[in-house]
Structure 1
Amino acid sequence: MGKIYLTSNEIGTMWTQYIQNSLYIQILKYFIETVEDNKIKELIQDSLILSERINNEIKSVFEHEDIPIPHGFNDQDVNLKAEKLFLDPFMIQFLEHTLKAGVIAHGSTLIVSTRKDIRQFFTETTEDSLRLFNKCTDLALSKGLLVRAPSIKVQPDIEYVEKKKYMSSFSNRPLNMVEITHLFENIKTNTVGEMITMAFAQTTNNDTVKKFMNRGLKISQKHIRIFQKTIKESYIDAPIGSNSYVTNSKNRVFSDKLMMHFLSVLTAAGQGNYSTASTASLRNDLILSYQRLAAEIAGYAKDGADIMIEHGWLEEPPQAPDRKQLITD
């Protein structure tokens, strides 16, 4: 049997994971330098070890297959001597967010891969990410830092939708559990985005980046208000996370390249979350709201990509050969 080459799926997903893990590695290194709680520090160290192991494996595979190793991010993109920018509770929220994303990313790579060694590796990393996510959730619960979804008593009987009024924007029916789930999760993710853009805005000396971060901060705050209002209209207490886990430090911690790329990751995740929520919701007003807000994020993401291209911060993914050029040359 001849050599089994990597597929485009395997190359593309591993390339993306390498870039994103190289970014997380720098953030986690900084967290280790500034964290005060030993239990949280242990969780950060475990997450750092996992991210480094994933990137070392991807690097090894790419070298063996003669695929260029992405530049990604390195020690030049973080100032480990900078004073504390994020309080410890934020670090748990950050880990909860990134570990969720990791489970999805590793699982996605697994299900689009065909080579046995690649499937085996991402089976293991998915399991490791799940283990760390559970550890993170248990730690947050023990410290009273987990923002929990509302506890609601549901209707006693199974029912079917009998009238189109159920989906109407004007029915004023109570939210169902699926709709509440997505509203709640989108409040949580926007709260993380709110704190990140706030921290990045106050620590960059690049006016363009600062303006972009301030714009992202306002978008996050606006979306949080919209989702909270929707929940409250059904007489349900809207989850309120703290946005006060950012210190007053103005010392630069991360490079502008890293901060801009991280925002591109967050906006892409936000668009995916809103698309999923729109599909799962049955009230037309919710569907339209998610679509409108997703369009706003898409415009923001486009402007962010333009800034990265202008400054030479956007690394190109591996591309297929340009056959037209090969034929005409």
Structure 2
Amino acid sequence: MDKLPLTANELGMLWTQYVQNSMVDQILRYFLETVENEKTKSVIEETLAISIDTAKESKRLLVEDGAPAPKGFNEQDVDLNSPKLFTDSFMLTFIEHIGKAGVATNGLSLGFSVRKDVRDFLSETTRKTIDLFNHCIDTSLSEDVYIRAPQVDVQSEAEYVQGKKYSSPFKKRSLNTVEISHLFENVKTNVIGEKLCTGFAQTTKSPEIKSYLKKGKKISKKHLNTFTNTLKESDIYPPMSSSSMVSTSTTPVFSNRLIIFLMTMLSSAGQANYSAGSSASFRYDIIFNYQKLSAEISLFAKDGLDLMIKNGWLEEPSQAPDRSDLIK
């Protein structure tokens, strides 16, 4: 029986899988060249193997269906001879972050898919990504570099909300554990964003890109302080790593195209995190903060997109024919 043609959902998902994984490949190859800890190296090797396989299979499925092969990223986007820019602990934190994002993205992609071979591919990739995530967390714990969420004392019995003051932004109650969870995770993601902007800004030679990254660092620090202060209002102090995570190297490592693509990708993930945090929160002041900060990320992502278009770096996904143009 002939295979069904890929749907628009499947085409878009496979294109995204290839481009994003080909980008991550270059980062992981550099990590592998500069990592020092053997346990961390094992996690990087596993991550790289999954990323290479995912990109390869995504491209195969696209090409076999007659879709153009995306260009993505390659060895020209990274200088493997550059000095160490990020610490081993940051490498684990970065992989933890993309692992969590990978599990969520693969699950969403699976829900979009119909063809059995595509579903089988995504199911297997999801299983591998889950195993990788667990390996990464276990390694971080064993190396004492994992940043744990805060621990809190809770009431002894289940309770129901009594009145509208539970959501009041004026008479603020203490945070519930769901709100704490989202606030803490957004603290962690903004730490990653700040460190990436720092490392990229001190190594790029482009004044334009440097300016964009300095803006991103400022935004990450602002958002980090907002979430941290919200936690502190309830006497919750999120434990954070004391490691600087970024070396003093100023030698360029990654292409400007890869840098901007990664920042726009992380900005999109950040908006999704803020949307989830807003939906899960009951205090109106927290909801307002998420919505306000999400708008700021959106503008930052747009600036990145404009930079990619200006420099001819933005690769187009497959698109539907323009019927109006054909009629002309």
Conserved? CA contact 2:35–2:88, under 8 Å: yes
Conserved? CA contact 2:270–2:297, under 8 Å: yes
Equivalent residue number for residue 16 of structure 1:
16
Equivalent residue number for residue 317 of structure 1:
317
Equivalent residue number for residue 34 of structure 2:
34
Cα distance, 1:240 vs structure 2? 2.2
Conserved? CA contact 2:308–2:314, under 8 Å: yes
Q: Distance in 1 between the 2:148 and 2:215 partners?
A: 28
Cα distance, 1:153 vs structure 2? 1.5
Map Cα deviations across residues 110-156 of structure 1 (whole Å, 9 max, x no partner). Answer: 11100001101110100000000000000001111110001112111
Conserved? CA contact 2:78–2:253, under 8 Å: yes
Secondary structure at the counterpart of residue 4 of structure 1: coil
Q: Distance in 2 between the 1:150 and 1:3 partners?
A: 50
The aligned amino acid for 1:84 is: K
Q: Distance in 1 between the 2:238 and 2:82 partners?
A: 36
Map Cα deviations across residues 66-90 of structure 1 (whole Å, 9 max, x no partner). Answer: 1111111000000000010011111
Mapping of 1:147-296 within 5 angstroms?
A: 147-242=147-242, 244-296=244-296
Conserved? CA contact 2:145–2:241, under 8 Å: no
Map Cα deviations across residues 16-73 of structure 1 (whole Å, 9 max, x no partner). Answer: 1111100000000000000011111111011111111111111111121111111110
Q: Do structure 1's residue 55 and structure 2's residue 66 form an aligned pair?
A: no
Conserved? CA contact 2:178–2:281, under 8 Å: yes
Conserved? CA contact 2:15–2:59, under 8 Å: no
The aligned amino acid for 1:327 is: I
Q: Distance in 2 between the 1:241 and 1:186 partners?
A: 15
Equivalent residue number for residue 88 of structure 1:
88
Map Cα deviations across residues 147-175 of structure 1 (whole Å, 9 max, x no partner). Answer: 00011121111111120111010122000
The aligned amino acid for 1:256 is: N
Cα distance, 1:3 vs structure 2? 3.8
Map Cα deviations across residues 79-113 of structure 1 (whole Å, 9 max, x no partner). Answer: 00001001111100010001111111111111110
Mapping of 1:68-79 within 5 angstroms?
A: 68-79=68-79
- After TM superposition, what 4+ stretches of structure 1 lie above 2 angstroms from structure 2? 238-243
The aligned amino acid for 1:11 is: L
Cα distance, 1:242 vs structure 2? 4.1
Equivalent residue number for residue 303 of structure 2:
303
Which structure 1 segments of 5+ residues have no match? none
Equivalent residue number for residue 145 of structure 2:
145
Q: Which moved more, 1:287-296 or 1:101-110?
A: 101-110
TM-score (norm 2): 0.98
Conserved? CA contact 2:15–2:62, under 8 Å: no
Q: Distance in 2 between the 1:2 and 1:31 partners?
A: 42
Q: Distance in 2 between the 1:175 and 1:123 partners?
A: 36
The aligned amino acid for 2:302 is: K
Q: Distance in 2 between the 1:154 and 1:187 partners?
A: 22
CA change 1:243–1:277 in 2 (3 A) is farther
TM-score (norm 1): 0.98
The aligned amino acid for 2:82 is: A
Q: Do structure 1's residue 5 and structure 2's residue 5 form an aligned pair?
A: yes
Secondary structure at the counterpart of residue 43 of structure 1: helix
Conserved? CA contact 1:194–1:243, under 8 Å: no
Secondary structure at the counterpart of residue 203 of structure 1: coil
Identical counterparts, % of pairs = 50
Conserved? CA contact 1:17–1:105, under 8 Å: no
Equivalent residue number for residue 99 of structure 1:
99
Conserved? CA contact 2:197–2:214, under 8 Å: yes
Map Cα deviations across residues 228-267 of structure 1 (whole Å, 9 max, x no partner). Answer: 1110110112232346010000000000000000000110
* Coordinate RMSD, CA, aligned: 1.0
Map Cα deviations across residues 290-316 of structure 1 (whole Å, 9 max, x no partner). Answer: 000001111111111111110011111
Equivalent residue number for residue 134 of structure 2:
134
The aligned amino acid for 2:219 is: I
Q: Distance in 2 between the 1:307 and 1:3 partners?
A: 40
